[in-house]
Every structure is written in structure tokens, then in C-alpha cells.
């Protein structure tokens, strides 16, 4: 159901309308009107994604070894250089530079932390924290065998986190670095603020189980308020793409199109309907932003008989 702002006529307008009726003898058309005010319009792109730590490393070894001792638990806070676990391996354990390169290619977030020494025919090694952060995963137990490309422990720096968002390709061009973002999710309360730090230049195609495809681009957002955020959690986001101050909005019902294809509205002027050609911008719900042709304080006719023409005397419904 449409809502309308009904504003009373000032006394001088009623007097002018009454004189016009007596002078012309024309029956007045009853209309609904709205006085124009300005507002600020914020345009958004809605999307979704997940939270990630800006720095996250999966640590392991580039050979076969057995875990001797684990000194941490999942969720522990660790400092850079802190000992996480030790391992031992047979003397033929070797570090192959090519193997390390392949490991990096398979997992760009992974680093191989190996400091070893020969002792009594066995190689002793240890894994330490590459930076201060939180242990988010331990993929091995004491006494189990470590092998190449299997992560032993994951450390995340939770002092800085980001949201990786998927944006429909049709909306990518409206987003740029520095735009503000509002983030919500099921794992935390309230809204978190962020800022766009990267817009991917590549469009990715994702196929669904039904065979349909979705094309999107990745947007990276640094989150400014980290309280209660968890890496891996799903989030929804609103990217603010523009802010327009002093905007004039009119309901769809007020807009017509003449024989020349021009959009227009009827404004109330001294008790008469007067045609005013306008240009419009974006649709905003049940309203349209008018970019030219109208001014704050004017009164537009929002509902009227189809026969209403320029010069027709009008009265507001509330004056009936």
C-alpha cells in the first residue's frame, strides 16, 4: 500500500483556487500531493563472502619425520619464534630445494620451517611460530608421522583480518579501492566497518550442481573492528558505492511520459496543475531520484485523474 505525505494548503493558496473556480466555472480535479524535500541517497552493492586472517601460515616439513613433542593446543596465543613442536627423522632425511619450491606452489600460504641437526644417527628438528598469532589448527599428534605437503600446524595473525567477498560481475565496475563497507554475520553481533583494499581484475566462473553458472569478481576488504571475528566465518556485506546529498525523490505514481517520450510530473502552482519535464536517475524502491526539473519546497501531484491536463484547477483530497 502506497503511503503519501498529505500537506495542508496555506490560506492564500485556497483563496487563489477559489477565485479561479468562480472565474472559469471549471470543476476542480481532486488530487493527492507531496511537498518535495531533499535527502541523502546512499547506493550499495550487496554481496557475501568469508573472513580470513591477513597473515596465515601452515607449517610442515619437506620430508618424512615423526612428531616427538607438541607444545601448543588449538586456540593458544603464540609469539614469534616460540617453539611449537619437535620431530625426528632418519639420517637420510634431506631437504630438497626443488621440493620446497613445489610445496610453495601447492600452497601459497605455506612455509616450511625446518631447523635441524644430526645427533646420534637421527635428525632432530623443530617448528616455531613465524610471527605472533593464534594456533588455529593442529593437523598431527605426537608419535604420528609427518610427510611432505601435510600441514602440521596453522598459525594466524588475528591482529588484522579481512573479508574476501564475491561480487556479481555486473556490479564490479562500480566498486573501487577505498570505499566503505558494512559487514554483518551470524558469528558476531552488530555491524563491523571495513574498507575496500583490492578489486580483482579477473572474473571467475562458478558452476552449480544444476549446470548453471555464476560470474563474479573477488573484493578484498580490511575489517577495522575485529572484536568477536573468527577466520573462516561467513559474512554479508554492503559496499557503499556513492553518496548523493540534496537528492529529490518522487514516487513512481507521480511520473508520466508524454508523446515525445519525455518524463514529466505535474506540479501544483497557484491552484492549477502545471506540467514539468524532468530527468530521472536511479530507482530507489518505490521512488525515483529526479536529477533535474524539480526543486525543494515545490508540490508535486502524486495521484490524479487520468484526464488531468496542464492548466486544470486542482484541489487536494484533504480540502474536500
What is the domain-level CATH number for residue 268? 2.40.420.20
Same domain, 32 and 83: no
Per the domain annotation, does 5 fall within a domain? no
The helix, strand and coil proportions of the chain, stated in percent and rounded to the nearest 5, come to: 10, 55, 35
- Are 237 and 277 part of one and the same domain? no
pLDDT tens digits for 113-144? 443 433 444 567 888 898 999 998 998 899 88
pLDDT given for residue 318 in this prediction: 64
Say yes or no: 187 and 203 in one domain: yes
Residues 48 and 68 in one domain: no
Assess contact for 229 and 223: CB atoms under 8 A: yes
Q: Is residue 246 assigned to a domain? A: no
Answer with the one of 186, 210, 241 that is the final residue of a domain.
Answer: 241
pLDDT tens digits for range 275-298: 999 999 988 888 999 999 999 999
Whole-structure pTM value: 0.61
Pairwise pLDDT comparison (19 vs 155), residue with the higher score: 155
User: 224 and 262, same structural domain?
Assistant: no
Asked if 224 and 262 sit in the same domain, the reply is no
> How many distinct structural domains can be found in the chain?
3
Tell me which H or E stretch contains 207: strand 192-207
The pLDDT value given to residue 116: 40
Q: Quick check: 162 pLDDT over 60?
A: yes
Question: Percentage of the chain with pLDDT > 90?
Answer: 44
Give the span between the Cα atoms of 313 and 269, in whole angstroms.
9
Asked whether residue 4 is domain-assigned, the answer is: no
Are 167 and 127 in the same domain? no
Say whether both 48 and 170 belong to one domain.
Answer: yes
Query: For residue 193, what are the domain limits?
Result: 44-52+159-241
CB 95 within 8 A of CB 63: yes
For residue 318, count other CB atoms closer than 10 A to its CB. 12
- pLDDT tens digits for 45-82? 999 999 998 888 888 876 678 889 999 999 999 999 99
The domain that contains 90 carries what CATH number?
2.40.50.100
The residue among 281 and 97 whose pLDDT is bigger is: 281
Secondary structure of residue 246 in the 3-state scheme? strand
For the beta carbon of residue 161, count every other beta carbon within 10 angstroms.
Answer: 25
Is residue 250 in some structural domain? no
Domain boundary among the residues 241, 269, 302 is at 241
Give the per-residue pLDDT at 109: 39
Residue 199's pLDDT is 94
Position 187 in a domain? yes
pLDDT attached to residue 235: 95
Residues 195 and 315 in one domain: no
pLDDT value, residue 7: 40
Residue 248 included in any domain: no
Residue 308 lies in a domain: yes
Instruction: Judge if 295 and 177 occupy the same domain.
Output: no
Give the H or E element holding residue 99.
Answer: helix 97-106
Q: Are residues 165 and 97 in the same domain?
A: no
Domain boundary, last residue among 110, 138, 157: 157
Amino acid at each position: 500500500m502506497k503511503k503519501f505525505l498529505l500537506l495542508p494548503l496555506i490560506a492564500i493558496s485556497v483563496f487563489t483556487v477559489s477565485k479561479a473556480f468562480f472565474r472559469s466555472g471549471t470543476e476542480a480535479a481532486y488530487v493527492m500531493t507531496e511537498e518535495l524535500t531533499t535527502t541523502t541517497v546512499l547506493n550499495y552493492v550487496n554481496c557475501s563472502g568469508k573472513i580470513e586472517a591477513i597473515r596465515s601460515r601452515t607449517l610442515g616439513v619437506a620430508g618424512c619425520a615423526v612428531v616427538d613433542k607438541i607444545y601448543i593446543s588449538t586456540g593458544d596465543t603464540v609469539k614469534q619464534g616460540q617453539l611449537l613442536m619437535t620431530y625426528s627423522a632418519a639420517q637420510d632425511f634431506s631437504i630438497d630445494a626443488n621440493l620446497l619450491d613445489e610445496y610453495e606452489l601447492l600452497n601459497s600460504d605455506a612455509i616450511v620451517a625446518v631447523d635441524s641437526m644430526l645427533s646420534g644417527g637421527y635428525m632432530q628438528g623443530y617448528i616455531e611460530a613465524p610471527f605472533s598469532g593464534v594456533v588455529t589448527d593442529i593437523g598431527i599428534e605426537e608419535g604420528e608421522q609427518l610427510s611432505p605437503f601435510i600441514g602440521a600446524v596453522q598459525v594466524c595473525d588475528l591482529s588484522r583480518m579481512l573479508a574476501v567477498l564475491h561480487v556479481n560481475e555486473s556490479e564490479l565496475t562500480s566498486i573501487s579501492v577505498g570505499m566503505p563497507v558494512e559487514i554483518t554475520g551470524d558469528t558476531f553481533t552488530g555491524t563491523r566497518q571495513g574498507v575496500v583494499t583490492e578489486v580483482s581484475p579477473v572474473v571467475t566462473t562458478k558452476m552449480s550442481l544444476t549446470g548453471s553458472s555464476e560470474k563474479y569478481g573477488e573484493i578484498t576488504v580490511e575489517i577495522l573492528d575485529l572484536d568477536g571475528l573468527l577466520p573462516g566465518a561467513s559474512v554479508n556485506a554492503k559496499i557503499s558505492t556513492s553518496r548523493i546529498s540534496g537528492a529529490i525523490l518522487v514516487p513512481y505514481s507521480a511520473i508520466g511520459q508524454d508523446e515525445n517520450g519525455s518524463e514529466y510530473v505535474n506540479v501544483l502552482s497557484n491552484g492549477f496543475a502545471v506540467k514539468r519535464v524532468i530527468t530521472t536517475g536511479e530507482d530507489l524502491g518505490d521512488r525515483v531520484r529526479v536529477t533535474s526539473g524539480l526543486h525543494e519546497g515545490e508540490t508535486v501531484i502524486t495521484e490524479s485523474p487520468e484526464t488531468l491536463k496542464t492548466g486544470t484547477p486542482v484541489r487536494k483530497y484533504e480540502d474536500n
